[in-house]
Structure 1
């Protein structure tokens, strides 16, 4: 580092020396030219008439002195003395040229500024101030020499300002030179310390075999030195990793032998990038195939370095195959735990479902059995009087049993893929309106007002009438169950061109936000208690969703706890290939309504 700085310093001084010589040479040529142009010039010079002979001698002396100075700048170790001599010669010759100009208005005196700047740059602030002060005295002396008797010397005043400028330039430039030198010395000291530590570590590793063996040869990690294709060095662990017998065997192989084609292209690109851009600590994961054909996952940390005066890559590899296997096992355990939790939750649903089923089976059977017992107790007259009442009770509970059995059968059929919708072109408005009107008596018995509205009078689309009856009746049944006396149920149909929306909205108890996602789940009920106010198995809405999906439709829910619910069935507005349109509901619709509403 010192050698580099010294050479740079000598080059700067050499450049300044050449510049000074050039300045003096140009001034000398100008002076000779003035002598040759003006015959009376010599008589005006306050020296002897042989001055013209002095000028060539002056040029020769200048050339010799500057040649001596320039050569010895690069030869002598003590450059400072050479520089001082050079500045003295430059100042002396500059003074002679100013005297030869025969005027104190000579512009040559501004060249002292060049001497001040070069001196400050080369030798520092203190020497620069000395040169500036000396140059100022020389200028004052020249003013007094050419105008010794002037009472008012205006040029002396101007030169006084020039002298102050000389000193200020030397001062400011010297401070900057000092600051730059301090910074350079600080950086050089830090760099020397780093180089010292680097040399110490290098010497320790090279000369201390134990440290070398501990850190590299017998390292726990696989260490190798290589370029983008060839391997130059491997430690013991790396030899084991690649499944070879020795480093000599590895040198005969290329890196491409340990990767598949696609992976090697990516890895080679990374290695070339590290070498070309001199990157360090580049970390990534890769998969190698060792000499025995075994695939190994490794974590790779590569950095640019110089080995044998060649740009290479130092790579540290760590076998992470066991970690990958452990992570895979952890993922499998998490997945199994997730499946176990889902299975346990499904088992809870099934348990709750069977509990509800047993309750739903037991309740109507108990009612039927109790009604039969009561009928047996009565005599003929009382039997005839109460027969219709108890027969209606028995019939309603039979409907409940049939509904339950039908729902269970439909679940099994749907899961088995045996339910195929009978798609026919029907008037959806007529079907929905007929079903809505059929439950009016039930709504009136509960004190609930039912409102039907549609924006079209007729809409022919393809759908399964039986399944659509089940869908609408189930939604209306739920609305009746969960709406108190004095409430409303709104049924509406909207034509959306390519779709038809059927909405059933009530002013009932509503559904909590955290329960909405479970409402269409199988065997799921918002209130799972057997002491709830409303009967049901929790499979009705699940079947509704399944039947809607059979029509390639969807069902939506909007609800707020305490403010009612709205179920919207969206069906595609399309027709089947057959052209026959049926617009009547089968005669057993009343029985279907009674069956669907039997648990209200």
Structure 2
């Protein structure tokens, strides 16, 4: 009955492609299936009840006996790997599982063995190990940053340069996400850089910043290559990077220089355009008084027999001569400022008194246009150092503009405010005002609000620019507030200071001495 059981068992195991056999002792076969016998180049009968040394080489016999004895003694399953020659004499690595069968008495009756040829797997692992060693030898000391990571950015490898750059150990990096080294507000952009990578387009180059080992942010350029499984899914990336922070800084500096150069060129072109407009306007400005002088002279010739009728013509001649003098004076002063030759002649004077006299000097011109001039001050006397001639030019220019742009029935206010550190003079009108897009430009040279030759108000476009320069020479500043149809307010601020070893200039006779200067500054206002 037992014999029949063994034969039936043999038939069953012969249908299995796995090598199977039994051991009745630590070094003795029981039975074996066809697969195992064929592997050894034997028949099943050649193996039945044979000792290992009758079938295997000495080394093979010793190895198999040793592992069998361990399973027998321990009465536990043992898994071993043995190199066994096959029927062609090739050494093959077998993974052998030896499982003892325990009888009712608790002793081992026999051992059932099954084996798998894992030579290819082992060779593959060996080759992979060799490749890994070769790869490590190449990249470990490479000067570029080299790493590997899964699609979720989990690092699986980082070379020494990568570790040193980020100031972390290999153990700290592996298993962490390299995305954690990227600033949070830039992480989404880094992830987007991998969009579009596929088996036909496996590489991508991109730039981003990371946290350097000292905590600063530095730029890197990365070249990533994706590896795919048989279904085209990305299983891993390999990336190589270099630090490009210095390059980025040079690019930024270059961009800034280019931008500055473009701005300079733009300013030069704009300045050249303004000069062209200015000189075109100067031609008009010079031609107008000259034409009037010429025409008036012609009328004088016609009326020279009646001297009483020549007062009006004489006034026109004188006014236009003043216009030419004013224009030429402005051009000369602008040229001197550019060359650095214009200097202040400072004296300690009563600025309140001077400002009041200058305001009174324009009353006649204002009355001719039906405009009121009002003067006010918070202090009657206040001596500070200033250039009398330059201050006169400043205030007369502001008052001239106020008269030009204030309609009949309007009002011009001049106020002096003395404070601890400075004195301000305000010239305010309720005229037509200045467009918002022109306010920032009115102190630039050659700029006019109305650029057409058929302007309602005359002017060369350098008066306010010259005024601003003269104020700056005093260490002061000028500001403007204006709205269309709601007038303009110009504020001149000059620091309170005294010139040492200089007698006070009382200037009691200013009003009488300033008449001609007033006529010159107001020469482009026709009544």
TM-score of the pair, normalised by structure 2: 0.58
Q: Does 1:592 align with 2:524?
A: no
What does residue 105 of structure 2 align with? none
Q: How much has 1:588 moved relative to structure 2? A: 3.5
- Match for 2:240 among 316, 319, 328? 316
Residues 258-312 of structure 1: CA distance to partner in whole angstroms, max 9, x if unpaired?
Answer: xxxxxxxxx957324786576542464899xxxxxxxxx982669xxxxxxxxxx
Give the 3-state SS of the residue equivalent to 1:396 in structure 2: helix
Counterpart of 1:442 in structure 2 is: 365
Task: State the match for 1:429 in structure 2.
Answer: 352
SS in 2 for 1:518: coil
Q: Deviations over 1:141-167 (max 9, x none)?
A: xxxxxxxxxxxxxxxxxxxxxxxxxxx
- Paired with 1:520 and 1:205, the residues of 2 have a C-alpha distance of 81
CA shift, 1:206, in A, is 3.0
* Equivalent in the alignment of 1:544: 467
Matches of 2:125 and 2:285, distance apart in 1? 90
Q: 1:298 to 1:569 in 2, by over 3 A?
A: closer
- TM-fit CA distance, 1:340: 2.0
Q: Does 1:517 align with 2:413?
A: no
Q: Paired residue for 1:460? A: 383
Write the distance in 1 (CA, Å) between the matches of 2:126 and 2:401.
86
- Counterparts of residues 238-253 of structure 1 (less than 5 Å): none
Per the alignment, residue 331 of structure 2 pairs with 408
Offset at residue 519 of structure 1 (A): 1.1
Q: Pick from 134, 146, 167 the counterpart of residue 271 of structure 1.
A: 167
Match of 1:355 in 2: 280
Q: Which has the higher helix share?
A: 1
Tell me, what secondary structure is at the counterpart of 2:440? Answer: helix
Give me the whole-angstrom Cα distance separating, in 2, the residues matched to 1:428 and 1:501.
10
CA displacement, residues 226-281 of structure 1 (integer Å, 9 cap, x when unaligned): xxxxx3x569x99xxxxxxxxxxxx9xx98xxxxxxxxxxx957324786576542
Matched, 1:371 2:296: yes
2:264 counterpart of 1:339 = yes
Among 392, 395, 398, the alignment partner of 2:321 is 398
Q: Give 1:378 deviation, angstroms.
A: 2.6
Q: Which residue matches 1:492?
A: 415
Deviation at 1:405, TM superposition (A): 0.4
Q: Secondary structure at the match of 2:485?
A: coil
Map of 1:506 onto structure 2: 429
> What's the C-alpha RMSD, in Å, of the aligned pairs?
3.9
In 2, Cα distance between equivalents of 1:273 and 1:538: 70
What does residue range 196-211 of structure 1 map to in structure 2 within 5 Å? 206=128
Q: Distance in 1 between matches of 2:517 and 2:445?
A: 22
How far residue 332 of structure 1 moved from its aligned partner, in angstroms, is 4.4
Q: Is the 8 A contact 2:221 2:243 kept in 1?
A: no
How far did 1:541 drift?
0.6
Q: Distance in 2 between matches of 1:479 and 1:75?
A: 117
The equivalences for 1:95-494 within 5 A come to: 206=128, 224-225=139-140, 231=141, 233=142, 270-272=166-168, 280-281=177-178, 282=181, 284=209, 299=220, 316-318=240-242, 320=244, 331-381=256-306, 384-494=307-417
**Superposed displacement of residue 574, structure 1:** 1.6
> Shift of residue 411 of structure 1?
0.4
On the 8 A contact 1:274/1:280 being kept in 2, the answer is no
1:286–1:298 Cα contact (<8 Å) kept: no
1:552 Cα offset (Å)? 0.6
In the alignment, is the contact (CA less than 8 A) between 1:435 and 1:469 conserved in 2?
A: yes
Q: 1:428 to 1:378 in 2, by over 3 A?
A: same
> How many angstroms apart in 2 are the aligned matches of 1:564 and 1:417?
35
- Listed one character per residue, the Cα deviations across residues 330-382 of structure 1 (whole Å, up to 9, x for unaligned) are 5544433322222111111111111111111000000001111111123522x
**8 Å CA contact retained: 1:300, 1:315:** no
How many Å separate the matches in 2 of 1:355 and 1:414?
22
Give 1:318 deviation, angstroms: 3.6
- The answer for unaligned runs of 5 or more in structure 2 is 1-73, 78-120, 147-158, 183-208, 213-217, 224-237
Structure 1 residues 396 and 204, CA, compared in 2 at 3 Å: closer, same or farther? farther
Question: Aligned to 1:358, what secondary structure does the other structure show?
Answer: helix
What's 2:149 paired with? Answer: none
3-state secondary structure, aligned to 1:411: helix
Corresponding pairs, count? 344
> Where in structure 1 are there 5+ consecutive unaligned residues?
1-73, 78-198, 218-222, 226-230, 239-250, 256-266, 288-296, 303-313
Change (3 A) 1:204 1:509: farther
Report matched runs for 1:25-104 at 5 Å: none
Q: Is the 8 A contact 2:219 2:248 kept in 1?
A: no
Could you tell me how far apart the structure 1 residues matched to 2:284 and 2:364 are?
A: 28
Q: Is the 8 A contact 1:425 1:578 kept in 2?
A: no
SS in 1 for 2:348: strand
Structure 1 length as normaliser, TM-score? 0.51
